[in-house]
A = this chain, B = another copy of it.
Amino acid sequence: MKAYVLKDAKPTFSFEEVKLPMLKESEVVVNLGAAAMNHRDVWISKGMYAGLKYPVILGSDGAGWLDGEEVIINPGQGWGKNESYHGKNFKILGLPENGTFAQQAITERKYIYTKPAHLTIKQAAALPLAGLTAYRALFKRGKLQNGEKLLISGIGGGVALIALKFGLAAGAQVYVTSSEQEKIDKAINLGAAGGFLYTLDNWGIAALKETGGIDVVIDGAGGNGFDQLIDVCNVGGRIINYGGSAGKITRIMPQKVFWKHLNILGSTMGSDRDFEQMVSFVNTHRIVPIIDSVFELKDAALGFERMDSAQQFGKIVFSIPPIV
């Protein structure tokens, strides 16, 4: 099969012929029709990730066919028995194991799920990692309720956009932040109640007034601006952080955290049960992930460039040619 292989952290990629290894008894081979990118792929390609190894086929998201059925793969593997957090054997598909940027992917059969019927193969490929992350962050960690106010920082990323769709489907009033008014406008077109430019000083206090206070924040950035997420919260607010694209959180006033009885909750991926419930939620509400752009797998470098410069609004998808 052909695969898009990462050779080193320069990074060097090569679209080349790769031979599948022998399968273990519990494993299956999925013939992929589409894959999708996550920020994780960019970090790994730059050597900024734990447990690097080369060569490796990246890619956590994929949709395709197994035994004539349309399927998606749960990329969060080996979570363990404790629903509260993952165990030591937890792995994400696409490092250390080879991932979905290839014509075929090997995975244990228990991570195969039926593709939601209302999604195309490309849309389905855009769902797994972002959907799982957003679902757990919103509902398991954030315990988002119908009628609550939800703020999603950095709208445009895959998790942020699917969180927007999930939040609306759950009956929340959804606000967003971005550095670009254009992305805020797009989010409002999708159903957001409003948005805030995080490039403005002290936007948090203004947003607190405009929204009447936020109950749940979904944040994948951290960074210097994290204190604004604290300012915008209601008493009892829940801030769920699933990423650190803006680096270290550099200023938090403890007085605001304890006086507001805040909950700052780390969340990453989700359990097998979370994935199953996420897929069910997507089916029930007929949710469609937003696709930013589609590249052919052999041109995946274009996707890496696009994500690295934060141009995207939605998922970057790779179209995968069938084995002939």
Contacts and interface: CB of A to CB of B under 8 A. Distances in A.
A267 B263 contact: no
A244 B254 contact: yes
Given A241-B254, A248-B251, A252-B248, A263 B261 contact: no
A255 B244 CA distance: 6
24 contacts: A82-B236, A84-B261, A221-B254, A222-B254, A241-B257, A242-B258, A243-B254, A243-B258, A244-B254, A248-B253, A249-B249, A249-B252, A250-B250, A252-B252, A256-B266, A258-B267, A258-B268, A259-B268, A261-B265, A261-B266, A261-B268, A263-B264, A263-B265, A264-B265
Given A259-B266, A263-B265, 14 more contacts: A85-B235, A241-B254, A243-B254, A244-B253, A247-B254, A248-B253, A248-B254, A249-B253, A249-B254, A250-B250, A252-B252, A254-B266, A258-B266, A261-B268
A7 interface: no
A262 B252 contact: no
A91 interface: no
A266 B237 CA distance: 10
Contacts of A85: 235-236, 260-261
A159 to B, nearest CB: 11
Counted per complex, copies of this chain come to: 2
Contacts of A262: 265-266
Contacts of A247: 254
Interface in A78-116: 82, 84-86
Contacts of A267: 258, 261
A222 B266 contact: no
A315 to B, nearest CB: 20
A244 B252 CA distance: 10
A82 B302 CA distance: 52
Contacts of A221: 254
A208 to B, nearest CB: 15
Contact of A86 (B82, B235, B251): B235
Please indicate which of the listed interface residues A86, A221, A257 has the most CB atoms of chain B within 10 Å of its own CB: A257
